[in-house]
């Protein structure tokens, strides 16, 4: 069985590596996107101080500091959320103007240092509570999303169209006349694509990470595990579409039907915090959402395996479920 | 996966094949040998048994109750026009198409893992993986079987040495068929299925392919050959079935079938030379596309009848019957390639 699996795997790898156009495109597209994004979002931030205020809404009359000019005051009711924003330097200072006046400042933030002076000029008795944490730029937040999006396209379309092409050309029918089983064939396709995706993602991670100066807060091994499971789940999802059908139009349409919700709802471009409950529910049925949630938790917050265990579990279950369905519904030939 | 590269003892005893055109007389000698070779030479148990095979599609019945046995070590031909049910029958025999009813047995057992290991198959139309060389295509299929021939040996056997490193998509029709035959031979099969292997090839490539087939036959492999080229069947097959509209209409060694049906000789006349009034003559007349054929055992008597009816005989041809005539006689219609 292993011998047959590797024969198909080796041939598929050769086929892919010699298809220069596809290979180039696979690597070039995400690099171009991220360089573009880095160029747009990675520049200097806006010259405005942003201060979080622990309150449901802000009343400038309650404290002289709230009347400072060139400062954007943002009401934040949840202290935990507000502190996380301060840690990531999404706000420069956090104040609680209810007596006694307290404030939190990120000692790693140069803007925090300046705005602290402004606050102390207005409220000299305010209690200082320091926090630390490096700034998270939008490009840092976007980085896992871009890697995930590239994986999604490569997983769904790479495997889906290859199997469809084999079926239409009659190559699958010829393989069916050998001792090769559907499971062996599908496993070889999954492994070939998985190897490719992991390689491309690793190259992108290192290359783009260097370009944008990204720092990973968590475990690289955990990130790799997440990438393997996420890719497996999405490749298997692509196989469920390609397992049976023989029409490019139908398969293309169905794959698009899968990619669009993931593009919009999985949190590639923007966070879904605050979105309606049903949107969140739909988003969390998509494997990419779990991959990105897990990846951001590891890369940005340094989360461990316990924190992302639900994401990992969801990816394992969906990978197995999709693969089983794909093998069950697999057709070697055009009916 | 690459083959292990070791030679297996007792294998690779094929006569070295050369892709040079043989003189016509030699090809004719092969043809005579084939016809004279007694099909009854094999008395062993059948390697394949086909029992009451039926294949129904929503609007048609492609195979309608077909039964036959294939003795081991012979070349077994399945003949018939397009749409006769040959390919459907063969694909059910190959285990890639489920029958609606009936069964196929290989060495007295239902088709299973052993059959897939021991069968070699050449489909009518097969695409291979893109971007692979001839050698890599063969190596891929070699990797799918537990045992078989060395990749280089198959390349030599099918005279692909000079093409071994060429992209498989850049082969001519004849070269492509040789590659597909190489793939079919890569597991050193006990039974080899060839579905219209020479359709679309030019005459020289077809003749080369037949020579290759002769060398495979010499190894006493069982070959199942479907074709609509009667010359091919006469040359290669020890036994044939003729199918039409999903049924078998004749079965046996080609020589015996011809002997049984053609104690007669055939007279051919161009259609325009055969007047309508002559159709009422007491003759056995068969209509072909551009000619009229008359079968008879009494050549002199038939000629006298035609002369008396003032049928012009300038373009008359007299010849013995062949498989195509047999098909015409059995079905009343011409073979449609």
- Domain co-membership, A22 together with A77: no
Residue A335 lies in a domain: no
Interface of A with B in 55-84 (CB under 8 A): none
Q: When comparing pLDDT for A65 and B180, which is higher?
A: B180
Region B90-111: mean pLDDT is 92
DSSP A240-273: HHHTT---HHHHHHHHHHHHHHHHHHSSSSS--T
Count CB neighbours of A333 within 10 A. Answer: 15
Is A247 a member of any domain? yes
Distances (CA, A) of A277 to A145, A281, A282, A293, A314: 22, 6, 9, 17, 19
Restricting to A residues 170-229, those with a Cβ less than 8 Å away from any Cβ of B are: 170-171, 173-180
Q: Which of A19, A171, A179 sits opposite B128 (nearest CB)?
A: A171
B241 DSSP β-pair partners: B78, B251
Q: Which residues have CB under 8 Å from B109's CB, separation 6+?
A: none
Per-residue tokens: B314: 């300038």
Does residue B139 register a pLDDT over 60?
Answer: yes
A-chain residues near B125 (CB < 8 A):
170
Same domain (yes/no): A107, A188: no
Q: What is the dihedral of CA A189, A192, A198, A201, to 10 degrees?
A: -80
CA distance A309 to chain B (A): 37
Nearest to A179 among B130, B140, B145 (CB): B145
Instruction: Enumerate the domain spans of chain B.
Output: 24-257, 263-320
Coil, strand or helix at A68: coil
Tokens of residue A317, six digits:
């279950």
- Count of domains observed in chain A: 2
Specify whether A127 is located in the same domain as A187. no
What's the burial of A44, exposed, middle or buried (CB within 10 Å: 0-12/13-18/19+)? Answer: exposed
Supply B162's token pair. Answer: 């000079």
Same domain, A284 and A212: yes
Determine, yes or no, domain membership for A207. Answer: yes
Total beta-carbon pairs less than 8 A apart between chain A and chain B? 75
d(CA A176, nearest CA chain B) in Å: 7
- Tell if the CB–CB gap between A18 and B141 is shorter than 8 Å: no
Give the global pTM.
Answer: 0.71
A11 within some domain: yes
Fold that domain B24-257 belongs to in CATH: Rossmann fold (3.40.50)
Q: Rounded to the nearest 10 degrees, how much is the dihedral formed by the CA atoms of A185, A187, A193, A196? A: -120
**Among candidate residues A131, A165, A184, the one where a domain is terminated:** A131
Domain that holds residue A77: 49-131
Those residues with Cβ within 8 angstroms of residue B45's Cβ, 6 or more apart along the chain or in another chain: B71, B72, B107, B108
Q: Is the pLDDT of residue B18 over 60?
A: no
A267 within domain boundaries: yes
- The alpha-carbon gap from B253 to the nearest alpha carbon of chain A, in Å, equals 29
Confidence class of residue B7 from pLDDT cuts 50, 70 and 90? very low
pLDDT digits (tens, 9 = 90+) for A300-332: 888 889 999 999 999 999 999 998 898 888 888
Q: Given CB atoms, is B313 within the 8 Å cutoff of chain A?
A: no
A69 within some domain = yes
pLDDT value of position B41: 45
Phi/psi class of residue A89: alpha, beta or left (left: φ > 0; alpha: ψ in -120 to 50)? left
ipTM of the complex: 0.72
Q: Do A119 and A248 share a structural domain?
A: no
B1 CB neighbours in chain A (<8 A) are 3, 6-7, 10
**With an 8 Å Cβ cutoff, is B123 touching chain A?**
yes
The sign of the dihedral angle between the CA atoms of B255, B259, B265, B268 is negative
Note the pLDDT tens digit of each residue in B211-226: 888 888 888 889 999 9
The verdict on A301 and A212 lying in the same domain is: yes
Averaged pLDDT score across all residues of chain A:
84
Q: Does B57 touch chain A (CB under 8 A)?
A: no
Is A161 part of the contact surface with chain B (CB cutoff 8 Å)?
A: no
Does A334 reside within a domain? no
Question: Is 90 exceeded by the pLDDT of residue B20?
Answer: no
- Per the CB < 8 Å rule, is B132 touching A170? no
B288 touching A (Cβ < 8 Å): no
Indicate the residue among A105, A131, A157 that finishes a domain.
A131
> Of A88, A106, A131, which marks where a domain is finished?
A131
- Please judge whether A19 and B143 are an interchain contact, meaning their C-beta atoms are less than 8 angstroms apart: no
Res. B44: pLDDT tops 80: no
CA neighbours closer than 13 Å in the CB half-sphere of residue A325:
15
Q: Based on the domain organization, do A97 and A243 belong to the same domain?
A: no
CATH topology of domain B263-320: Alpha-Beta Plaits (3.30.70)
Contact assignment for B123 to A173 by CB distance below 8 Å = yes
Residue A42, pLDDT > 70, answer no
Q: Is the CB of residue A240 less than 8 Å from the CB of residue A326? A: yes
Q: Please tell me whether residues A76 and A156 are part of one structural domain.
A: no
- Assigned domain for A333 exists: no
User: Could you give the count of Cα atoms lying within 13 Å of A51 in the half-sphere of its Cβ?
Assistant: 27
- pLDDT more than 90, % of chain B: 32
B116 vs A12, A170, A179: nearest CB: A179
Query: pLDDT-derived band of residue B117, with 50, 70 and 90 as boundaries?
Result: very high
Token pair listed for A303? 């989360």
B147 interface with A at CB cutoff 8 Å: no
From CA B5, how far away is CA B144, in angstroms rounded?
Answer: 15
Interface test with B, best of A3, A7, A331, A334 (most B CBs within 10 A): A7
Q: What is the mean pLDDT of chain B?
A: 81
Per residue in A230-277, pLDDT (tens digit) is 999 999 999 888 888 888 888 888 888 888 888 888 888 777 766 778
């Amino acid at each position: 069985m292993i011998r047959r699996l590797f024969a198909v795997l080796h041939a598929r790898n050769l086929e892919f590596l010699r298809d220069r156009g596809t290979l180039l495109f696979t690597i070039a597209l995400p690099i171009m996107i991220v360089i573009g994004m880095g160029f747009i979002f990675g520049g200097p931030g806006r010259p405005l101080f942003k201060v979080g205020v622990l309150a449901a809404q802000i009343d400038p009359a309650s404290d002289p500091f709230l009347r400072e000019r060139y400062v954007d005051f943002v009401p934040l009711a949840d202290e935990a959320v507000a502190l996380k924003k301060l840690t990531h330097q999404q706000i420069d200072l956090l104040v609680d103007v209810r007596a006694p006046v307290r404030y939190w400042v990120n000692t790693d933030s140069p803007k925090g240092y300046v705005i602290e002076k402004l606050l102390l000029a207005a409220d000299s008795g305010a209690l200082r509570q320091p926090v630390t944490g490096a700034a998270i730029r939008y490009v840092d937040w976007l980085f896992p999303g871009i890697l995930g999006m590239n994986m999604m396209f490569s997983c769904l379309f790479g495997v889906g169209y290859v199997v469809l092409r084999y079926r239409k050309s009659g190559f699958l029918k010829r393989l069916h006349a050998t001792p090769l089983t559907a499971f062996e064939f599908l496993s070889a396709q999954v492994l070939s694509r998985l190897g490719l995706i992991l390689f491309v993602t690793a190259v992108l991670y290192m290359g783009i990470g260097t370009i944008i100066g990204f720092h990973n807060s968590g475990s690289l091994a955990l990130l790799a595990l997440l990438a393997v499971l996420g890719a497996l789940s999405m490749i298997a999802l692509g196989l469920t579409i390609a397992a049976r059908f023989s029409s490019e139009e139908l398969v293309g349409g169905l794959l698009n039907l899968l990619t669009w919700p993931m593009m919009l709802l999985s949190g590639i471009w923007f966070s879904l915090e605050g979105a309606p409950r049903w949107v969140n529910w739909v988003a969390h049925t998509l494997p990419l959402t779990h991959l990105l949630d897990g990846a951001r938790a590891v890369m940005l917050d340094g989360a461990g395996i316990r924190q992302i265990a639900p994401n990992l579990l969801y990816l394992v279950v969906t990978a197995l479920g999709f693969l089983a369905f794909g093998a069950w519904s697999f057709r070697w030939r055009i009916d | 996966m690459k083959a292990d590269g070791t030679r297996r003892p007792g294998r690779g005893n094929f006569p070295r094949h050369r892709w040079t055109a043989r003189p016509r007389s030699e090809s004719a000698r092969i043809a005579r040998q084939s016809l004279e070779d007694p099909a009854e030479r094999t008395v062993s148990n059948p390697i394949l048994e086909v029992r009451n095979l039926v294949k129904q599609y929503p609007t048609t019945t492609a195979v309608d109750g077909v039964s036959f046995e294939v003795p081991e070590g012979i070349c077994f031909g399945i003949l018939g026009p397009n749409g006769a049910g040959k390919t459907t029958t063969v694909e059910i025999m190959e285990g890639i198409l489920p029958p609606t009813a009936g069964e196929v047995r290989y060495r007295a057992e239902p088709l299973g893992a052993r059959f897939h290991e021991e069968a070699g198959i050449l489909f009518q139309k097969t695409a291979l993986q893109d971007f692979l060389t001839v050698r890599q295509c063969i190596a891929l299929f070699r990797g799918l079987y537990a045992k078989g021939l060395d990749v280089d040996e198959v390349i030599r056997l099918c005279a692909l040495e000079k093409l071994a490193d060429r992209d498989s998509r850049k082969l001519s029709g004849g070269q492509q068929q040789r590659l597909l035959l190489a793939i079919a031979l890569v597991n050193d099969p006990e039974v080899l299925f060839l579905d219209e292997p020479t359709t679309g090839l030019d005459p020289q490539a077809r003749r080369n392919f037949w020579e290759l087939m002769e060398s495979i036959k010499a190894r006493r492999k069982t070959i199942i050959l479907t074709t609509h080229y009667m010359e091919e069947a006469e040359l290669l097959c020890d036994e044939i079935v003729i199918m039409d509209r999903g049924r078998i209409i004749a079965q046996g060694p080609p020589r015996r079938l011809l002997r049984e049906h053609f104690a007669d000789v055939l007279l051919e006349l161009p259609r325009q030379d055969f007047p309508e009034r002559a159709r009422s003559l007491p003759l056995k007349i068969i209509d072909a596309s551009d000619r009229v054929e008359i079968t008879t055992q009494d050549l002199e008597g038939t000629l006298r009848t035609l002369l008396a009816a003032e049928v012009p005989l300038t373009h008359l041809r007299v010849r013995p019957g062949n498989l195509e005539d047999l098909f015409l006689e059995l079905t009343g219609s011409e073979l449609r390639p």
